[in-house]
Amino acid sequence: MYDLDAIRTAHPIVETVCDAGVELRRSGRRFAGRCPFHADGAPSLMVYPETGSYFCFGCNTGGDVIDFVGRLRRTGFKETVEYLSQHGLELDHLPTNVTRLPSRTVFPALTAEELATVDAAATYYAGMLNRYTDVRAYLADRGVGSDLARRLRLGYGGRGLAAHLRSRGLPLDPARRIGLLDGEREPFTGRVVIPDLDAGGHARWLTGRTLGSGSPRYLNLRAPAPLLGLRRAQLRGDRAVIVTEGPFDWLTGCGWELSAVALLGTHASRDALAALHGFRRVYLALDADGPGRHAARALASDLGERATIVDLPRGIHDLNELGQRRDGRTAFLRSLHASHARMEETWSSTTHSNPRARAA
């Protein structure tokens, strides 16, 4: 017997449809997107979070989340319910004949020349950060001191990247291919730059956060996004790692001298998941909102016993917000230990109440 209401609660319709690669836009109390069940030119798929249902005006299909997932995976009711009670929606398991939009653009891996350009740009941006007191003050406000900024090679997009690359004998074409330059324009101007470093401390990728309310909030390099900070976490040799959502949440973890990585969103790539399986303990400290909780549950179901979902202290939305509190680190570790203890209890109670699990 399955608790259908519990399954519906664990798989909110909007998040599930998003996970299936459908881009949804809010329109009043509903969301609209392109239907994955027919070749949909216009957004005909409507999703209604209040009733937990969807309906496509193109192919006249509709139902609840169980119906949606069953249709997507081409499984019957019973099999779908069994699947949903055990899993998040795993895109890799979908049949290939399902039409769907990719949920994020996939870029080719960088060439050696492009990697050299990324590293040279990171050096340039780091030098710029030294010149801008107000940007260093902004970072300090968000809990990132200058010592940490130096160690992680944080930077600031000041103007003059093209001249810098030329002075280093680097051509500009690779910089244009990966989005560091747009013609003569410098898209990272005015942004705090956060690089991903390899084991040798070279920058291999970077993102730039706007200082104000500019859009997009994070501008990424046109290159495959990493699990931010993975090399640093692996080099530390800790058997545990904290998984965060955004670059600033990750910076907070680093500032607390903890082993941390950032998903750069709520989606973990296959490579990112494989890397997380390499840690003995994985603490999922994602944002305290719908997408964050949904992603944490999906990750936890993939990672099994090594995963612990960390409930942040009440009223705190993300790790960086906690990092701005004087007692943030202590409060976080308290939450982490409490969540861990709850998890251990859950595991041991399932073992005791389920004779099959005990025998296994």
> Which one of 32, 56, 81, 180 is in contact with Zn ion (CB under 5 A)?
56
Structure tokens at 9: 């609660």
Q: Does 37 bind Zn ion (CB under 5 A)?
A: yes
> CA 121, CA 44: separation in Å to the nearest integer?
44
Q: Closest distance between Zn ion and the C-beta of residue 40, in Å?
A: 6
Q: Which stretch binds Zn ion (CB under 5 A): 31-39, 88-96, 246-254, 307-315?
A: 31-39
Query: Residues 59, 211, 273, 343: which binds Zn ion (CB under 5 A)?
Result: 59
Binding residue (CB under 5 A) for Zn ion from 8, 23, 38, 201: 38
CA pair distance 20, 217, nearest whole angstrom: 24
Interface pick for Zn ion out of 18, 35, 223, 299 (rule CB under 5 A):
35
Residue 313 near residue 321 (C-beta atoms within 8 A): no
* Close Cβ partners of 196 (under 8 Å, ≥ 6 residues apart): 203, 204, 205, 206, 226, 228, 229, 230, 231
SS3 category, 332: helix
Residue 192: strand, helix, or coil: strand
Instruction: State which residue, 27 or 111, has the beta carbon closest to Zn ion.
Output: 27
Q: How far is the CB of 53 from Zn ion (least distance, A)?
A: 14
| Only segment of 32-40, 142-150, 203-211, 283-291 that touches Zn ion (CB under 5 A) | 32-40
Our CB check for Zn ion shows the closer of 37 and 218 to be 37
Size of residue set near Zn ion by CB under 5 A: 6
CB of 60 to Zn ion, least distance (A): 8
Applying CB under 5 A, among 48, 49, 58, 313 the residue interacting with Zn ion is 58
| Residue number, 46 or 203, with CB nearest to Zn ion | 46
Please report, for residues 66, 78, 193, 208, 224, the alpha-carbon distance to residue 189 in angstroms, rounded to integers and kept in the order given.
46, 54, 10, 9, 21
- Per-residue b/e over 71-101, b at no fewer than 16 CB within 10 Å? bbbeeeeeebbebbeeebbebeebeeeeeee
Taking a C-beta distance cutoff of 8 angstroms, is the pair 12, 294 a contact?
Answer: yes
Q: How far is the CB of 94 from Zn ion (least distance, A)?
A: 16
Residues that bind Zn ion (CB under 5 A): 35, 37-38, 56, 58-59
